[in-house]
Structure 1
């Protein structure tokens, strides 16, 4: 199993560290526009291999050197600033960056699963699907997996239940128009209720990423764990369910769009969609979200 990470900023470096510590591949290739940065991370990780249970071959190079990977993790991005208030502020510049990189990456890694971490992830996942020519099942955006994880943690703290025993998905945009599927949320086998306290927790989730971002200037630990959850599921063909960003022709009455929906993931990427039954409010949230995402994608991609 070979994994390539494109973009060795804080997120890319933390994902690389997590992959090595979890032993998720035999060959890890780190690629960056500034190759010395990738080389430094590679050597640093190599120095720690004596403390790892799994021997990983770690190499580095330019983006063009990333070839024949089974999974390509896309974390490359233009620089952010601590005063950023919306992921959309990265949109125009990151779209231009992806237009340069994706044809090269897809040509050099024709059988890879492409995992998009960069923001705005919904638009970039749609663009990556278009430019690569890959089936949509092979192009996955991390999307609201991280938001759903934050939601589960906050709910678990309130309910005094381990997060693994909660099933509570946030779907839609990785951004302000995301929404929770309260009607399908369960604690073990008990259905939870949509109440004002739970809605307040969701409102905190919407701001959680930017709270961390404004406190320390970036986020890296939670997104790295979320990324490795997807990677592990692909590597071991686990057929796990999770909310991830994907381009789809139709889902619950929404056509030709790209945002996070519940899917089943395995070695070939997205294996199938799940179709939860939504209540009236959730159907309205879905309609609003779909229109906003379509507008965003049209604005950025033309």
Structure 2
């Protein structure tokens, strides 16, 4: 019996992830945990009604004790990013929330694997790791999944191909110092060299524009991160060992140590099975190092 707790389950993102898990029967039991208990209960009912023709998954509003010994905890709780805000603007508001969550999870499910979406994701994933005294292998942030999905979309638009015909990744910070890996881009299975700085900047501008239009016109990104988390859950629970860009705590990989940063990560039943070290360009290595230094500095000032 697989049990998953979703902290922030009353919210749009938490509920969407819960729906995805239930619809794909990735778990037998889903506990929606939220201070807004009545709304969480309503979300649980709505999810249950949506799967009644297809699945038998128990979805309900509960507390941390109901999620005791859960296989996974998904953390979406926190103040949302508003139009005009950077993710870093949310540190003060959300680190206290994450500290409380980390302590409560440690009490009921110390061996659980966590996936965090709370912004700023890299810093909040590190906060969960630090405050919960957690294993680095079991503390994961969803960040690069969304960034890379946007990158793939922008490239598919440029080259007029289907999105599944594009392989592209963004690593580093889930924020302004992110690192688009142009060295790893493939289109229709073939390496695609994009050397022109002008062309690269046009692609990244298109990416940023599409991302901000969601924030400004819809208020928040929901479907993108929800799908990314669902794919991560599937790889973990079914031990698929898929390589996804996730925020993880490095231990020497790419010359980086500590903090939490987006890196190519093989996900399986143990959580982080391996941080995969690709051959990236010297420019990308420099950008990744700079991004890590930025994250470390913030973590040291705000969390340690």
> Could you state the TM-score of these two structures normalised by the residue count of structure 2?
0.93
**Number of paired residues?**
300
In the TM superposition, 1:83-94 aligns within 5 A as 83-94=83-94
CA contact 2:81–2:87 (8 Å) conserved in 1: no
Structure 2: gaps of 5 or more residues = none
Asked whether the 8 Å contact 1:241–1:263 carries over to 2, the reply is yes
2:193 maps to what in 1?
193
Q: CA deviation at 1:207?
A: 4.7
- In structure 1, list runs of 5 or more residues that go unmatched: none
- What corresponds to 2:71 in structure 1? 70
Aligned equivalents of 1:164, 1:277: Cα separation in 2: 23
* 2:41 aligned partner: 39
Alignment correspondent of 2:149: 149
Q: Is the 8 A contact 2:3 2:67 kept in 1?
A: no
Partner of 2:237: 235
8 A contact 1:33–1:62 mirrored in 2: no
The equivalent residue for 1:133 is: 133
How far residue 84 of structure 1 moved from its aligned partner, in angstroms, is 4.1
Which deviates further from its counterpart, 282-291 or 117-126? Answer: 282-291
Secondary structure of the structure 1 residue equivalent to 2:260: strand
Contact 1:151 1:168 (8 Å CA) reproduced: yes
> Residue 4 of structure 1 contacts residue 28 of structure 1 at CA under 8 Å; is this kept in 2?
yes
Alpha-carbon RMSD: 1.7
Kept in 2, the 8 Å contact 1:85–1:210? The answer is no
What is the CA distance between 1:188 and its match in structure 2? Answer: 4.0
Distance change >3 Å, CA 251–CA 161, structure 1 → 2: same
CA distance in 2: counterparts of 1:253 and 1:156, whole angstroms? 32
Question: Is 1:3 aligned to residue 15 of structure 2?
Answer: no
Q: How does 1:6-17 map to 2 (within 5 A)?
A: 6-7=7-8, 8-17=10-19
**TM-score after normalising by structure 1:** 0.93
Deviations 1:164-191 (CA, angstroms, capped at 9, x unpaired): 3322110000001001111122224421
Deviation larger for 59-68 or 266-275: 59-68
**Residue 61 of structure 1 pairs with residue 65 of structure 2:** no
Residue of structure 2 equivalent to 1:107: 107
